[in-house]
Amino acid sequence: MAQMAEKFLLSRLSRAGFLILLPIAVFAVVQNEPLTAIAAIVGAGLVFTSNAFHPGRIRQPWPSIHRLLFGALLLLLVTSLWTGPWSLIHWLYVAPLIGFALLPLAWATAITLLVAALAVVATQGHGGIPERHQMVSALLLTIMLSGLLVFLREYKSRQLAPLRRTDELTQAASREYLSADLHKEIQRSEREGTDMSLIMIGLDTHLSDRNADADIRSILPRIGRYLHSQLRDFDTYYRVADLQFLIILPGIATTDAAALAETIRKGLSALLASHQLDLTVSAGIAGLNIGDDADSLQQSAANALRRAQQQGGNRAQSYSTWSHTTPPARTEGTGGPA
């Protein structure tokens, strides 16, 4: 919920900033201040190409364009130190914040120090203008505050790292906790005498060469949201590989898990087709048996998925319905010959 609220606020703020910068550009043109107009247009482009303006966009070339626009804006602001106008110079105060938010820490630090040095040099040629010296003092104060915010951000990130349980791209539970969580669920199932099943969902990679990697990665957040919508509150799913997810289903027998896997598989296939991705989906299902532990149960689900993909993919395969010596029988509606 907190992440959704943060994305909502950033999206609204970015749109508000975009709408404010456009009238500023028009007003600058009317006032015959071309440098300010260009800076406002570049700033609007910087906002427009950001992830906050378009949540979930990760495709190229937007990140590269985003960085190029920041470099162009920074060049315009540094130029204004010598040429003016004075109103544009004050935009330098936000440059450190944008830099630390957009660039790696080392690059942002180097660029911020360079801008500060250029600002000091620029004031030496205009010693008779007190406002320029005041601007440098304000800029240095802004840099110090930006450094403090970056320190707090990094400190918070390191403190919360052990508690982070979700994959940022798909919102799936973190793989690092899979074995421990599965071990607890197995113990609970054995203690209460209830069923438990696993589903391993995988995109059939034999077709992935027809689709760009960026296109496939762009659909992963929607796959995560779809899986979340199909599961109960106490079911959990994990991203175990780049294109594979594992679902823990407490209290569900293998037959019911197979039916759910087929529903999820068909739903994901329709989702991929709606985004013009020529990919199919397979699923492997494994139920908890006597003597199973976390590793063996995961391996059973992985073997079932591998078997489904070896048979051509686009199907769901239960581990209990085949052996290593007997080929599986054809199942209607599972996507092809066995």
Question: Does residue 301 fall inside a structural domain?
Answer: yes
Question: Does residue 111 fall inside a structural domain?
Answer: yes
Residue 206 confidence (pLDDT): 62
Residue 152 confidence (pLDDT): 87
Q: Which domain holds residue 5?
A: 1-162
CA distance 21 to 17: 6
CA distance 286 to 301: 5
Tell whether pTM > 0.85: no
- Average pLDDT along the chain: 80
Asked whether residue 202 falls in the same domain as residue 126, the answer is no
Which domain-ending residue is among 128, 162, 196?
A: 162
Asked whether residue 37 falls in the same domain as residue 86, the answer is yes
Q: What is the pLDDT of residues 161-217, one digit of tens each?
A: 554 566 666 778 877 788 888 999 999 999 999 999 999 999 987 655 555 566 677
Question: Does residue 168 fall inside a structural domain?
Answer: no
Asked whether residue 77 falls in the same domain as residue 25, the answer is yes
Return all residues near 139 (Cβ < 8 A) that are at least 6 apart.
92, 93, 115, 116, 119
- Contact, 15 vs 53, CB < 8 A? yes
Question: Does residue 155 fall inside a structural domain?
Answer: yes
Distances (CA, A) of 66 to 44, 53, 60, 229, 294: 11, 12, 10, 33, 44
Question: Does residue 328 fall inside a structural domain?
Answer: no
Q: What is the pLDDT of residues 12-71, one digit of tens each?
A: 777 888 888 889 889 888 988 888 889 889 988 888 887 767 655 445 566 788 788 888
The SS3 of residue 205 is helix
Asked whether residue 212 falls in the same domain as residue 297, the answer is yes
Return all residues near 245 (Cβ < 8 A) that are at least 6 apart.
170, 172, 200, 201, 202, 223, 227, 237, 238, 239
CATH number of the domain to which 216 belongs = 3.30.70.270
Q: What is the pLDDT of residues 134-150, one digit of tens each?
A: 777 888 888 898 889 88
Find, among 17, 76, 19, 8, the residue nearest to 42 by Cα. 76
Number of domains in the chain: 2
Asked whether residue 194 falls in the same domain as residue 245, the answer is yes
CA dihedral sign, ordered 81, 83, 85, 91: negative
Residue 338 confidence (pLDDT): 34
Residue 107 has pLDDT above 90, yes or no: no
Asked whether residue 158 falls in the same domain as residue 211, the answer is no
Q: What is the pLDDT of residues 248-293, one digit of tens each?
A: 999 999 999 999 999 999 999 999 888 888 889 999 999 999 889 9
Asked whether residue 142 falls in the same domain as residue 236, the answer is no
Residue 300 has pLDDT above 90, yes or no: yes
Asked whether residue 157 falls in the same domain as residue 179, the answer is no
Residue 301 confidence (pLDDT): 94
- Contact, 277 vs 215, CB < 8 A? yes
Residue 119 has pLDDT above 90, yes or no: no
